[in-house]
Structure formats: C-alpha cells, structure tokens
Copies of this chain bind each other. A is one copy, B any other.
Amino acid sequence: MPSARYATKVGAMAETSSAKRVRRSKAEQRAETLEQILNAAEYLFSKHGLHGVTLRDVALRVGVHTSLMHYYFDDKRSLFEAVFARRAAVTSGRRMEALDRYAQEAAGKPTVEGALHAFLDTDLDLYISGGEAWMNYAAFGARASNTPEGGELMDRYFDPVVLKLIGILKQALPDYAEEDIFWGYFFVTGSLMHTLGRTGRIDRLSGGLCKSDDFEAIKQRMAKFMAAGFLSLKRG
C-alpha cells in the first residue's frame, strides 16, 4: 500500500509528464537526475553538514527513492565529494586565470591590493552572478572547510590557486618574511570563508544594516581592507 507521500508524488509526476510527455534520452535523464541529486545534496549539506544530512533527506528532496542514491553514488561520502568537486574546478580555474592575467598586466610589479582583487573579486562575482545554486555551493564549501573531511578536499582542489596567490604576494612584498605573508593569507581566507557561510549573524547584530548575503557590499571593501592589513605587517 503506497504511502500518502508517494501517492501525491506520483500524481504530481503524472500531471507534469502528461502535459508535455517529454521524451528524454537515457543520457539526458541520467544527467538531469544526477544534477537534481547534487543540487539537493549541496543545499542540504550547506545547511546541516555531512553528518546532519541523511541520504533519505536528499532522496526526499529530489522526489525519488533512497536506493537511487546508491545507484548513482557509492555512499554518502562519495556524494559529498561529488558535490565538492562539481564546482571546485570552475572557481579554481577562474581565479587561476584572473591571477595569471593580473600578474601579466602588472609586469613584474604587482601590488597586494591588485592581487587580492583578482583573487577575491573574481570569486565573489561568481557567486553574485551564479544564482542560488552557486550561493549554496559557497556555503557548502565554507562549512566543509571547517571539517576534517572537507579540509582534505580543500587541500586537494585549492592548493594550486592559493599558492599562485602567495607567489604574487611575495613578489609584491619582497622584503617580507614568508611567514608574515602566510599569516596575512590566513586572515584573508578566514574572512572569505566567513563571508561564504552567510550565517546571518551580522544582519541581526547590525539590526539589518548589513546583510550577510550582500556579497556586493563585501566585495567593495574586502580587498582594500586586507591589503591595508598586509602592509601593516611590515617589520621594523
């Protein structure tokens, strides 16, 4: 005897598919279902973390049976990694290009602020113009970065971009100790992760004056703020 939930769902499906009865190839259907699963998982993981989400939750949100999760993914961990990997190459690649472009423009004389604009603004723009899905990915990544599982993925996918940024910063600050540059980056990435997490706390603290999903406002301030911070680390 089907539960009320399944009855409803089947009814809804019949409704939409009878309206147009779209013929999708198997490849199309596979791709579409995969995308729906990844989107649902991305959203849920971004809110509750790896352990706060069950495969059943994801299946329910997509409207398919739990066992389909195991058909497309080995297990929960591999679904989590698939969510991470899907957009990681895009954000990493875009920042790589932006940093390359900036390094070339600067022709051997980069500034800290210029490098940070390339690194930070490029990423923030991606989330600003990428719609809800990318905003969810931002929060997913920020949350993941805070965990053992996610930390390992961060290393694997983002070390190259970060080391490229560090390289340009060294060029911009040739008389700096290497540690100071790493600590400066440490402060930058902390603020960036906090931004991507969009916890809503600044909204409440500021009485609505600032909104944690206002990435435009953050973009207008962040690179300049952090560049000034870097310059303050100059040693006597």
Inter-subunit contact B194/A190 (CB<8 Å): yes
The interface residues of chain A, by DSSP majority, are classed as: helix
User: CB-CB < 8 A to A186: which residues of B?
Assistant: 191, 194-195, 202, 210, 212, 218
User: CB-CB < 8 A to A231: which residues of B?
Assistant: 228
A 189-204 to B, binary, CB cutoff 8 A, 1 in contact else 0: 1111111010111101
Inter-subunit contact B200/A182 (CB<8 Å): no
A 147-171 to B, binary, CB cutoff 8 A, 1 in contact else 0: 1100100110001001100100000
Inter-subunit contact B155/A204 (CB<8 Å): yes
* Copies of this chain held together in the complex: 2
Inter-subunit contact A221/B145 (CB<8 Å): no
* Contact A225 B192, CB 8 Å, known A146-B197, A201-B151, A204-B155: no
Inter-subunit contact B217/A179 (CB<8 Å): yes
Interface residues on A, range: 35 or more
Q: Name the residue on B nearest A178 (C-beta).
A: B209
**From B159, B189, B200, B230, contact of A194 by CB (8 A):** B189
Q: A50-B52, A186-B202 are in contact. List 17 more A-B contacts (CB 8 A).
A: A49-B52, A143-B147, A145-B201, A146-B197, A151-B200, A155-B204, A179-B206, A182-B205, A184-B221, A185-B205, A186-B218, A187-B191, A187-B194, A187-B225, A187-B226, A225-B229, A228-B231
